[in-house]
A and B are shown apart, each in its own frame.
Chain A
């Protein structure tokens, strides 16, 4: 079994999965928050852009988003995310485009999670913020968003879990993560398919179970008591 893990570099594959998930989680949180603010803002055009973003990204399969990032944005618009001089240009570039695709897709879900968090805030909070003369930006920053994040812990945790599992999709552009290694294993060592699947499945259980537990712990702890 250990030879199998070594031969198909399953450990480095899981490390790749973790890196993809970590980077995408941070970026999608930032982008998602921006989109959520746009959707809540008083300026009509920002609302429309935010809504269009969520509608487009949420309804496209992630596989296609990732492929279009690589073939379309990298290939056609010539936007390199790494230095062409570097000896690891392709590896870095693919990784970063994978992160970009994953982040763009999950940002739409982060945005929706935050909006559901905003919905948990009683009207009085926003009214109070306005009545003491806070502007939109001020009330967002100091009253609404802090409570929205705390109210949205559960859906945000779910997005993080989904994101971790969705990293497998980037095998389509040749990023060497778990699905990529598992495909190689299935093709070259059919006899080991069962063991390989067991290891990969176990790995994902180990990755996602703590996330789920942390989410419920935090949501209980951080929920705004009303």
Chain B
């Protein structure tokens, strides 16, 4: 009985080590085979969103969406086949760090090019220009932010886009949730009047089977969001990716990808800003 607490502590400590060891083994969500150094010679690790229908979605054990398809097409142009690509989740708050610490080689995750972000990372692209828009129910008469006075608008916690609308139209009321899917759920059951974020993200939701014909994107974007490919500042792929992106627009692949993923919502990219002019944001 003598040193029981310490023996117990030792056993517990050993247990914790075992558990955390098997933790780090597959700690990477699905990053099976993701080399920590960030790809290296024989593969590419690409950061995408896992929970955005139409753009980057983990559906079962595969990945679907526009960002996924563009990423695969670019990877192919760079000489990587589909099975050399590993996808990793890159949530908004962690994108810059993931690039800076080389945990991913590139990020395709509705990643808008901004000056603040360019201080830390470099961008290839833009490959697509989205704009902030509204998602409303199919029979709604809201045609733009100016109709939102006295209406209920939903967005995610801490989103600047919702704050911008609020500044323009002070009469609007803001509901915030952790994710857009919660907003869309509340929109589809009529509890709130509109959801706001980038038009293509909204189209991704509207294109889901459950919401087909029930929701529509208003189609009057009131901002410009240049989606770029996030890269570490040291990366030498930037110009190559720009070339690849330009080719994708020229040979019609991009249009096809957009049609395949968000076309069901009747969404077409804003013709004034697309095709996006890739280049100019490399370090």
Q: Is B8 an interface residue (CB 8 A)?
A: no
Q: Would you give the shortest CB distance from B172 to chain A, in whole angstroms?
A: 10
Is there contact, CB below 8 Å, between B191 and A89? no
**A174 contacts the other chain (CB 8 A):** yes
Q: Which B residues touch A70, using CB under 8 A?
A: 177
A187 to B: closest C-beta gap in Å:
6
Given contacts A78-B191, A183-B158, contact A173 B185 (CB under 8 A): no
Consensus secondary structure, chain A interface:
helix
Given A89-B152, A184-B158: A76 and B189 interface contact (C-beta under 8 Å):
yes
Please indicate the chain A residues that have their CB under 8 angstroms from the CB of B157 in the complex.
171, 174, 180, 183-184
Q: How far is the CB of A113 from chain B (nearest CB, A)?
A: 31
Of residues 133 through 175 on chain B, the ones whose CB sits less than 8 Å from some CB of chain A are: 150, 152, 157-158, 171, 173-175
User: Could you give, for residues 76-87 of chain A, a 1 whenever the CB lies within 8 Å of some chain B CB and a 0 otherwise?
Assistant: 101000000001
Does B243 count as interface, using CB distance less than 8 angstroms? no
* A94 adjacent to chain B (CB < 8 Å): yes
Contacts A75-B185, A184-B158, A187-B93: A90 and B175 contacting too (C-beta < 8 A)? yes
B182 touches A71 (CB 8 A): yes
Interfacial chain A residues near B176, Cβ < 8 Å: 173-174
Q: Does A53 contact B (CB under 8 A)?
A: no
Docked-complex contact B191 and A75, CB < 8 angstroms? yes
Q: Assess whether A46 is interfacial by the CB under 8 Å rule.
A: no
B155 to A: closest C-beta gap in Å: 9
When C-beta atoms are compared, the residue in chain B nearest to A74 turns out to be: B191
Number of interface residues of A (CB under 8 A): 23
Whether B186 is near chain A, meaning CB under 8 Å from some CB there, is: yes
Q: How far is the CA of A180 from the CA of B156 in the complex (A)?
A: 12
A47 CB, min distance to chain B CBs, angstroms: 36
Chain B contact residues: helix, strand, loop or mixed: mixed
Instruction: Enumerate chain B residues within 8 angstroms of A89, measured Cβ to Cβ.
Output: 152, 173
A67 surroundings in chain B (CB, below 8 A):
182
Minimal Cβ-Cβ distance residue in A for B150:
A87
Knowing A90-B152, A180-B157 are in contact, say whether A174-B177 is a contact too (CB < 8 A). yes
Chain A residues lying within 8 Å of B191, measured Cβ to Cβ, are: 74-75, 78
Measured between alpha carbons, how far is A79 from B178 in the docked complex, in Å? 21
A27 CB-CB contact with B under 8 Å: no
Cβ distance B34 to chain A, nearest Cβ, rounded Å: 25
CA distance A171 to B177 in the complex (A): 8
Interface residues of A in 58-108 (CB under 8 A from B): 67, 70-71, 74-76, 78, 87-91, 94
* Cα distance, A128 to B244, chains bound together (Å): 89
> What 0/1 readout, one digit per residue, does chain A (177-217) give for beta carbons within 8 Å of chain B?
00010011011100000000000000000000000000000
Q: How many positions in chain B have a CB within 8 Å of any CB in the partner chain? A: 17
| Whole-angstrom distance between the Cβ of B103 and the nearest chain A Cβ | 18
**B-chain residues with CB within 8 Å of residue A40 when the two chains form the complex:** none
Cβ–Cβ contact B175 & A94, under 8 A: yes
Q: Which residue of A lies closest to B153 (CB)?
A: A90
- A30 contacts the other chain (CB 8 A): no
The chain A residue sitting closest to B176, CB to CB, is A174
Cβ-neighbour of B175 out of A76, A87, A174 (below 8 A)? A174
Q: Which of B152, B174, B177 contacts A172 (CB 8 A)?
A: B177
Q: Are A75 and B189 in contact (CB under 8 A)?
A: yes
Q: Roughly how many angstroms separate A106 CA and B6 CA in the complex, as a whole number?
A: 37
Question: Which residues of A have CB within 8 Å of B178?
Answer: 172
What is the bound-complex CA distance between A74 and B182, given in angstroms? 13
| Cβ–Cβ < 8 Å partners of B182 in chain A | 67, 71
Contact of A71 among B158, B171, B186 (CB under 8 A): B186
Nearest Cβ on chain B to A32's Cβ, whole angstroms: 29
| Shortest beta-carbon distance from A218 to chain B in Å | 34
Q: Do B152 and A75 have beta carbons less than 8 Å apart? A: no
- A71–B189 Cα distance when bound, in Å, is 10
CA distance A173 to B156 in the complex (A): 10
Task: Determine how close the nearest CB of chain A comes to the CB of B272; give it in whole angstroms.
Answer: 31
Contacts of B185 in A (CB 8 A): 71, 75
CB-CB < 8 A to B186: which residues of A? 71, 75
Instruction: Give the distance in Å from the alpha carbon of A156 to the alpha carbon of B183 in the complex.
Output: 37
Q: Which of B93, B171, B182 has the most CB of A within 10 A?
A: B182
| 5 nearest A-B residue pairs (beta carbon) | A174-B176, A90-B173, A75-B191, A75-B186, A184-B158
| Pairs A–B under 8 Å by Cβ, sample size 12 | A75-B185, A75-B186, A75-B189, A87-B150, A90-B174, A90-B175, A94-B175, A171-B157, A174-B177, A180-B157, A184-B158, A187-B158
Given contacts A174-B174, A187-B158, 13 further A-B contacts (CB under 8 A): A70-B177, A78-B191, A89-B152, A90-B173, A90-B174, A90-B175, A91-B173, A171-B157, A172-B177, A173-B177, A174-B175, A174-B176, A188-B158
